[in-house]
């Protein structure tokens, strides 16, 4: 797969953050959900615990729990230092401080790690990577992508984004992507060309406000559906 653990910084969000980032209703939480690039987030573990049906796909899942834990420990302080240095780029209300951010993320990642071995055996954590997913067409109702597409706009081209979103729309009836900002906190310049192309191909594309904002101005998701 060519995915090197030394190059990645595992960082996982909580279940509550996922529900808010994607404005998920109780009904939607009961659907068949695919999480693309979920990494060490707690969403899969907690939703499964509540009886939900979710599969997460991420190249990180090719590694074992100890390797992932070691990498989290090795990189966690660096991520928090960056948050301290760029404090003004974030909204400190629900998450009141960098220290609280660190605690919240570590709880989420511990929840993931505690679930990972059983979840991988059950087929809930699948090693794979966009833009090519190892699932049959129409396998899911909803595909979610948090903090991967658009966030890494400097590293991932508009063509990659198009391929990735088309692929998610192949395996799911609806796709939601959050945030629409880059790592630097700027609106991604890929949003306009990617949405224009997918509309031209006949997909319905909607910008929707969500009840979540941590990066300043990062409170919108894109929703894609077949036309
Ligand atoms: C910033 S993390 C976000 C984790 C999680 N979605 C969250 O919001 O807490 C980005 C994730 O994208 C994953 N990733 C990297 N390349 C990918 C690819 N080609 N397809 C899917 N996921 C990928 C990384 O392994 C990492 O777990």
Q: pLDDT tens, 48-73? A: 999 999 999 999 999 999 999 999 99
pLDDT per position as a tens digit, 158-214? 999 999 999 999 999 999 999 999 999 999 999 999 999 999 999 999 999 999 999
Pocket-forming residues, ligand 1, beta carbon under 6 Å = 8, 11-13, 36-39, 41, 58-60, 129-130, 146-148
Predicted pLDDT at 222: 98
Percent of the chain at pLDDT > 90 equals: 96
H or E stretch at 87: none
How far, in Å, from the CA of 177 to the mean position of ligand 1?
12
Predicted pLDDT at 164: 98
Measuring CA to CA, which residue among 114, 225, 116 is closest to residue 173? 225
Measuring CA to CA, which residue among 143, 110, 130 is closest to residue 59? 130
Mutate to test the pocket of ligand 1, among 43, 59, 132, 165 (most ligand atoms within 8 A of CB): 59
Minimum mean pLDDT range among 6-15, 65-74, 217-226: 6-15
Q: Count CB neighbours of 19 within 10 A.
A: 20
The two structure tokens encoding residue 2: 């060519």
The two structure tokens encoding residue 78: 């660096």
pTM, full prediction:
0.97
Mean pLDDT of 138-155: 97
How far, in Å, from the CA of 58 to the mean position of ligand 1?
6
- For residues 33 and 104, the answer to whether their CB atoms sit within 8 Å is no
Question: What's the start-to-end Cα distance of the chain, in Å?
Answer: 33
Q: Count CB neighbours of 137 within 10 A.
A: 8
């Amino acid at each position: 797969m060519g995915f090197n653990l030394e190059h990645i910084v595992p960082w996982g969000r909580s279940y509550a953050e996922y529900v808010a980032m994607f404005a998920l209703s109780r009904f939607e939480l009961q659907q068949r959900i695919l999480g693309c690039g979920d990494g060490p987030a707690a969403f899969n573990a907690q939703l499964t615990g509540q009886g939900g049906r979710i599969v997460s796909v991420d190249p990180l899942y090719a590694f074992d729990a100890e390797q992932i834990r070691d990498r989290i420990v090795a990189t966690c302080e660096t991520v928090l230092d960056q948050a301290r240095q760029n404090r003004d780029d974030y909204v400190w209300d629900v998450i009141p401080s960098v220290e609280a951010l660190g605690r919240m993320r570590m709880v989420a990642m511990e929840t993931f790690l505690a679930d990972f071995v059983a979840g991988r055996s059950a087929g809930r954590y699948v090693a794979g990577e966009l833009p090519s997913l190892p699932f049959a067409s129409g396998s899911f109702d909803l595909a979610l992508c948090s903090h991967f597409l658009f966030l890494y706009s400097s590293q991932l081209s508009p063509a990659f984004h198009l391929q990735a979103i088309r692929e998610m729309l192949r395996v799911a009836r609806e796709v939601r992507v959050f945030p629409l900002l880059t790592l630097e906190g700027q609106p991604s310049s890929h949003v306009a060309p990617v949405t224009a192309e997918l509309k031209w191909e006949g997909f319905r594309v909607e910008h929707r406000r969500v009840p979540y904002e941590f990066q300043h101005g990062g409170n919108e998701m894109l929703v894609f559906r077949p036309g």
